[in-house]
Amino acid sequence: MQEVNFSFEYAKKRLKTSLENYGHHLPGEVYIFIDFPQTRKSGGNGKYQSFICYATRFGKSEVKYEDSGSGELKRPT
């Protein structure tokens, strides 16, 4: 079985490439991506990471992105 890279950096690179190849952007469009942690127990907490992509012009466009940070996800107990 082939091993698959599910890292946050790999996902960010793939999403950015997909958005740059999308041909129907509007200038100023914003895409927000959040990677929520997977916790195995009820009430478990974990760290999340996120980034935001911005379209720069109509149609196919370079997509600028910035990391919007990480934080702790508080699950209800």
pLDDT tens column, 51-64: 888 888 888 877 77
Rounded Cα–Cα distance for residues 51 and 65 (Å): 7
pLDDT at 66: 80
Largest CA distance in the chain: 46
HSE, CB side, 13 Å, CA atoms: give it for residue 71: 8
pLDDT at 68: 76
User: Which pair of structure tokens corresponds to residue 49?
Assistant: 């990471």
